[in-house]
Chain A
Amino acid sequence: MINKYLQIYKECIKVSFATASTYRVNFLLSNFILLVSNILFPLVTVMIYGSGASFPNWSFYEVLLIQAIFTMSAGLAQILFNGVLWATMRYVIDGSLEIVLIKPVDSLFYLIASTISLESLGLLLGGGIMFILAIVNVGAITLLMWLQFIVLFLSGLLVMMGTSLIMAATSFKWVGNSRIPEIFDSINTFGKYPQSIFNKATSSFTAFVIPVAMVGYFPAAALLGKVNLSMYVAIIPCILFTMIGILLYKHMIHLYEGVGG
């Protein structure tokens, strides 16, 4: 069974690449634009530090590291999960989810696999360049710190996945509302900065309720040797957040009513 699902995923990647290569110029251009715009993304941070101001107790490269990790996580999420939101909106409006439900596989898996978007590779690459730039300037990183980083980074990806699924699930009821992602984008912004600059209520909310701190800040803290127990505790809400996303989406598929023929 797992082998079958891996084969389907592999085939979906092939299809995604074949689709992307159909419109080569669009593919290259959108990746280039994403790459450039994301390299420019930390401009505000550059200006803050350039003017002599700073986030208290955080160096420029430390803040850049948080933002680089956030961008990489956002890039991976856009490649792997975000397509499900737009596809769901389209299917619900057209009443064409049947073409997914008619496949003898888990519908959620198939939706995620068939909406892989290679057009966001530029975002991942942009984050990667910033990450390298930050990492060579923040001091030595031990193997343990890397392992902690991987665990927390993957937990952050779970948050991104849960976010995509919750947004997609709401589009079953809140049909055609393309503003939903903007709400989550606003909340996600809290993950781009050191949590120490926020008040206690905000940092608790972003760590344990909607755990966006796990997307950028916590994995960066691991690489900077600033990790603490509460960051590991925050893995639990990340898993719960993803599970809520999966269960909610499956529930909405159950409620799906299609449209008349």
Chain B
Amino acid sequence: MDTITVKNLTKTYETYKRGSGFTETVKSFFHREKVTVNAVNNVSFNVGEGEIVGILGPNGAGKSTTIKMLTGTLYPSSGEISVMGYTPHKDRTAYVNNIGAVFGQKSQLVWDIPPIDSFNMNKVIYSISDKDFKQTLDKLTELFDLKDIVGKPTRVLSLGERMKCEFIMAMLHKPKIVFLDEPTIGLDVIAKQRIREFIKEMNALGTTFILTTHDLEDVEQLAQKVIIINHGQKVFDDTLQNLQLNLGAKKIVHLVLTSPIYDNKIDGVKVIEKKSDFEYTLEVDLENKSISTFIQSLTEMCEFSDISIKELPMEKIITQIYESRV
């Protein structure tokens, strides 16, 4: 069952074109040219209950604008949004009671006081009972191993600890849907992993997550579905598996030879990188050649001491989508 339905969502805004350099700056002081920006252009998608959906896109693609409109904090220029039956920007106060949000670059914690005081503020704002508050807080602090941390002033916490506290802030009122705008930005690998595990655990309990990210590991480990936005337009909306097949079924083969070869042409195989006469990285198109046929041809052609076969890296798939569409 779909919990989020977005139809023809558009957000345009006007800004001014400002030149660079002294002359342009002086000119723009007297006359500024208006520019209309289509931040989000006619985007439609659905999200099912209990899904984790990753919204990907390069900088300025419209991901954050989309998520802000989904949270009801930004008015769309046109189009329809329905989340759990609410129109976010129209029913904002009632709607946000049912959602949580973590903005990776904007903190909800009060800088000079301990996170526990900020949590207490949310307890009152969301009218959480003493019993529920204690239960949820105990569970979340235990999951994040933050029991001794929440009493220290926020400003002395590490970025990872602060981000975990941001998650607690967003989850205290047990929201049904949580929006995450770049939740792992700037974190070290351990903190990232802990947060990903937390998202998985909460998702297993039924919480729907929508996340924007630049970290493809987030998507690979978490998202069941991927939406790619570029220049404000949706260019991909499908499962992670289908995203990996988007450029065709291909494999990357790393090969170390025992002796150099000079006639190295095999149909359906492209040399991506030649590090030396002994070391190659190849791309095998499985539509033209199966892996077993490729290995057979390779064995007939040369001797090798090492071989590894991998999936096409996600970076490559995404980069190709960013560059090829729109």
Which residues of chain A have a CB within 8 Å of any CB of chain B? 4, 7-8, 11-12, 14-15, 18-19, 22-23, 94, 96-99, 101-106, 110, 254, 256-258, 260-261
Question: B65, B106, B110, B125: which contacts A8 (Cβ < 8 A)?
Answer: B125
Taking A98-B68, A261-B64 as given, write out 15 further A-B residue pairs in contact, using a Cβ cutoff of 8 Å, ordered by the A residue number: A7-B124, A11-B120, A15-B113, A19-B110, A22-B112, A22-B153, A23-B112, A98-B101, A98-B103, A103-B125, A106-B93, A258-B68, A260-B60, A261-B65, A261-B67
B110 lies within 8 A of A256 (CB): no
Q: Does B105 contact A (CB under 8 A)?
A: yes
A96 to chain B: closest residue by CB:
B106
Q: 7 smallest A-B Cβ distances: which pairs?
A: A261-B64, A101-B73, A104-B97, A98-B73, A22-B112, A96-B106, A19-B112
CB neighbours of B94 from chain A (8 A): 104
Bound: A110/B64 CA distance, A: 24
A18 lies within 8 A of B96 (CB): no
Q: Does B261 contact A (CB under 8 A)?
A: no
Interface residues in B240-291 by Cβ distance below 8 A to A read: none
Assuming the contacts A11-B124, A94-B106, A260-B64, asked whether A102 and B93 have C-beta atoms less than 8 A apart, the reply is: no
B39 lies within 8 A of A260 (CB): yes
A258 lies within 8 A of B73 (CB): yes
A99 lies within 8 A of B113 (CB): no
A19 to chain B: closest residue by CB:
B112
Cβ contacts A to B, 8 pairs, < 8 Å: A8-B124, A18-B113, A98-B73, A101-B96, A104-B126, A105-B125, A258-B65, A261-B65
B95 to chain A: closest residue by CB:
A104
Bound: A147/B261 CA distance, A: 102
Bound: A11/B65 CA distance, A: 32
Bound: A119/B72 CA distance, A: 34
Interface residues in B1-53 by Cβ distance below 8 A to A read: 13, 39
B153 lies within 8 A of A102 (CB): no
CB neighbours of A11 from chain B (8 A): 120-121, 124
Q: Does B117 contact A (CB under 8 A)?
A: yes
Q: Does B319 contact A (CB under 8 A)?
A: no
B110 lies within 8 A of A15 (CB): yes
A30 smallest CB distance to B (angstroms): 15
Bound: A104/B75 CA distance, A: 17
CB neighbours of A101 from chain B (8 A): 71-73, 92, 96
CB neighbours of A261 from chain B (8 A): 63-65, 67, 105, 181-182, 212
The interface size of chain B toward A, counting residues with CB under 8 Å, comes to: 40
Assuming the contacts A4-B124, A97-B73, A104-B126, asked whether A260 and B65 have C-beta atoms less than 8 A apart, the reply is: yes
CB neighbours of B118 from chain A (8 A): 15
B62 to chain A: closest residue by CB:
A260
B123 to chain A: closest residue by CB:
A11
B125 lies within 8 A of A104 (CB): yes
Q: Does B108 contact A (CB under 8 A)?
A: yes
CB neighbours of B101 from chain A (8 A): 98, 102
A36 smallest CB distance to B (angstroms): 26
Question: B74, B93, B105, B120: which contacts A105 (Cβ < 8 A)?
Answer: B93
A94 to chain B: closest residue by CB:
B106
Assuming the contacts A261-B63, A261-B182, asked whether A99 and B108 have C-beta atoms less than 8 A apart, the reply is: yes
A214 smallest CB distance to B (angstroms): 33
Bound: A94/B103 CA distance, A: 13
CB neighbours of B78 from chain A (8 A): none
CB neighbours of A254 from chain B (8 A): 75
A191 smallest CB distance to B (angstroms): 34
B93 lies within 8 A of A15 (CB): no
Bound: A19/B68 CA distance, A: 29
A102 smallest CB distance to B (angstroms): 5
B250 smallest CB distance to A (angstroms): 32
CB neighbours of B105 from chain A (8 A): 261
Q: Does B127 contact A (CB under 8 A)?
A: yes
CB neighbours of A23 from chain B (8 A): 112
CB neighbours of B74 from chain A (8 A): 98, 256-258
B13 lies within 8 A of A257 (CB): yes
Question: B71, B121, B125: which contacts A98 (Cβ < 8 A)?
Answer: B71
CB neighbours of B153 from chain A (8 A): 22
CB neighbours of A19 from chain B (8 A): 110, 112-113
Bound: A177/B106 CA distance, A: 22
